[in-house]
Amino acid sequence: MEPASFEALSLDVPLLRALADEGYERPTQIQRDSIPPALAGRDLLAIAPTGTGKTAAFTLPILQRLARESRPGPRVIRALILTPTRELALQVETSLTAYGRHLALTSAVVMGGVNMNPQIRALRKGVDILVATPGRLLDLMQQGHVKLDSVQVFVLDEADRMLDMGFIHDVRRIAARVPAARQTLFFSATMPPPVAELAHTLLRDPARVEVAPEPVARPRITQRLMFVDQKDKFGLLVSLLHQFAGGRVLVFARTKHRADKIVRQLSRNGIRADAMHGNKSQNARVRTLADFAAGKLRVLVATDIVARGIDVDGISHVINFDLSDEPENHIHRIGRTARAGASGVAISFCDHDEIEKLWQIARLHDEPLPQDTGHAFHRPAITSAYDDFAAVRVGGRRAPAPAATAHRREGGGHRGPGDKPGRPRGFGRRRRRGGHRR
């Protein structure tokens, strides 16, 4: 019979503790089938779509193997995980950080679409596990920033998508630079002939595992983008909070100052909220989070610095009052909702000054965020400005920059004329005074 617990899969205590922290009670089928052969050092051919728990199926064995084989001296890349998209790369790294939180291993992401220098700095410091998209990895290899000659475990994640996106030659070139005496874990949602052929050339006597395409715990995050003037953001927030009465809402602001201001203005409008940011004491943060988790506090306003620490189930909505300065943070922010198999909604406000940030975020997603024009503060002029901006930036780029015109009206969002709520007190009454302190 298949083991029904993580303990029965012979995972070490630091990993079992991390899985308990995540609230996972038992392994999914792909984890039950993949982890034992992977821990035994075998190659793996796994047919598993997203949402089945496949990321843990390959990251847990890697973390266990590398932690057991840790040795003194400078860190070198001992595991390489290739993903087709930047978004997936970030999700894999988030999982590595979560499952490896009680271990001393390090990981980094290299991917296109964002500045190379922080990635080069991270590589210089030394990492045990590298998560990469193929194009940027090859660039960094050519520049001499990445050496793959110590890689022991090589993972191809979503191999079918990798081929669909035209990465076959890049993948082959990278695979040729990884030592032949390695373990290869090959994951794909489907296995059409070209994918099977690639698997055949990369794998040696693999254990074959397959799960039905029925996902067990797909994170269902519906994103909605709202173009709104800075002065109207607070009014929009209040109207959404009224719509979502009963939900648990996490609001992100760009700075501590703005987070505190939102909390003050909400309380003046009769909505109880609290702030979480770097200026709050550890005790205050723990108390606030406990209140939020217990449902005593319905609205929490946070900054990026504390985003990853907010591990609360049942967050129904994430509202990006301001877009993040770092596009990667957008993914960490929206990942606070739709946890433990639930669904969630992530709404992003964007004013005229945030167009470039939105473009960066859309590039990370490889697609535009669905626009919701059915709110009382919609500003068509920002949509046009965004489309103009994206059109100019497309020229000469490898990845096309997505335009915003994927208009959508979502249930409940539309208001007729005259529905416009009275302007709430506070935000937007004065003109903005330029940049805020962080």
31 versus 288: smaller Cβ distance to ligand AMP:
31
Near ligand AMP in 176-235, by CB under 6 A:
217, 219
Provide the minimum distance between the beta carbon of 95 and ligand AMP in the complex, in angstroms, as a whole number. 7
Which of these ranges, 49-57, 185-193, 293-301, 343-351, lies near ligand AMP under the rule CB under 6 A?
49-57
- Using the rule CB under 6 A, is 51 a contact of ligand AMP? yes
Q: How far apart are CA 23 and CA 182, in angstroms?
A: 32
Residue from 47, 56, 350, 358 touching ligand AMP (CB under 6 A): that is 56
54 versus 378: smaller Cβ distance to ligand AMP:
54
Residue pair 211/47 in contact by the 8 Å Cβ criterion: yes
- Using the rule CB under 6 A, is 53 a contact of ligand AMP? yes
Residue from 29, 34, 55, 371 touching ligand AMP (CB under 6 A): that is 55
159 versus 253: smaller Cβ distance to ligand AMP:
159
Q: What is the 3-state secondary structure (H, E, C) of 353-405?
A: HHHHHHHHHHHHHCCCCCEECCCCCCCHHHHHHHHHHHHHHHCCCCCCCCCCC
191 versus 217: smaller Cβ distance to ligand AMP:
217
Phi, psi of 6 (to 5 degrees): -65, -35
Provide the minimum distance between the beta carbon of 25 and ligand AMP in the complex, in angstroms, as a whole number. 6
- Using the rule CB under 6 A, is 314 a contact of ligand AMP? no
3-state SS assignment for residue 144: coil
| Half-sphere exposure for 346 (CA within 13 Å, toward CB) | 21
Provide the minimum distance between the beta carbon of 96 and ligand AMP in the complex, in angstroms, as a whole number. 12
- Using the rule CB under 6 A, is 24 a contact of ligand AMP? yes
76 versus 217: smaller Cβ distance to ligand AMP:
217
- Using the rule CB under 6 A, is 424 a contact of ligand AMP? no
- Using the rule CB under 6 A, is 99 a contact of ligand AMP? no
The residues with which 276 forms a beta bridge, in sequence order, are 302
29 versus 320: smaller Cβ distance to ligand AMP:
29
Q: How far apart are CA 311 and CA 334, in angstroms?
A: 12
Which of these ranges, 50-58, 161-169, 204-212, 315-323, lies near ligand AMP under the rule CB under 6 A?
50-58
Q: What is the CA radius of gyration of the chain?
A: 23
Instruction: Look up residue 141 and give its two tokens.
Output: 């290899």
Residue from 29, 34, 50, 107 touching ligand AMP (CB under 6 A): that is 50
Tokens 């987070």 locate to: 259
Provide the minimum distance between the beta carbon of 376 and ligand AMP in the complex, in angstroms, as a whole number. 34
299 versus 315: smaller Cβ distance to ligand AMP:
315
Tokens 């082959």 locate to: 172
Residue pair 347/222 in contact by the 8 Å Cβ criterion: no
Q: How far apart are CA 115 and CA 228, in angstroms?
A: 28
- Using the rule CB under 6 A, is 100 a contact of ligand AMP? no
Q: How far apart are CA 175 and CA 426, in angstroms?
A: 57
Q: What is the 3-state secondary structure (H, E, C) of 332-362?
A: HHHCCCCCCCCEEEEEEEECHHHHHHHHHHH
Provide the minimum distance between the beta carbon of 200 and ligand AMP in the complex, in angstroms, as a whole number. 24
- Using the rule CB under 6 A, is 27 a contact of ligand AMP? yes
Which of these ranges, 35-43, 46-54, 155-163, 378-386, lies near ligand AMP under the rule CB under 6 A?
46-54
24 versus 252: smaller Cβ distance to ligand AMP:
24
Provide the minimum distance between the beta carbon of 191 and ligand AMP in the complex, in angstroms, as a whole number. 17
Provide the minimum distance between the beta carbon of 217 and ligand AMP in the complex, in angstroms, as a whole number. 4
Which of these ranges, 51-59, 193-201, 393-401, 430-438, lies near ligand AMP under the rule CB under 6 A?
51-59
Q: How far apart are CA 39 and CA 35, in angstroms?
A: 6
For 250, residues 6+ apart whose C-beta sits below 8 A from its C-beta are 300, 302, 310, 315, 317, 318, 319, 336, 337
Instruction: Look up residue 354 and give its two tokens.
Output: 């945030």
Sheet containing strand 153-156, edge to edge, reads: 107-110, 129-132, 79-82, 153-156, 183-188, 44-47, 207-210
- Using the rule CB under 6 A, is 61 a contact of ligand AMP? no
Applying CB under 6 A, which residues contact ligand AMP? 24, 27-28, 31, 50-56, 217, 219
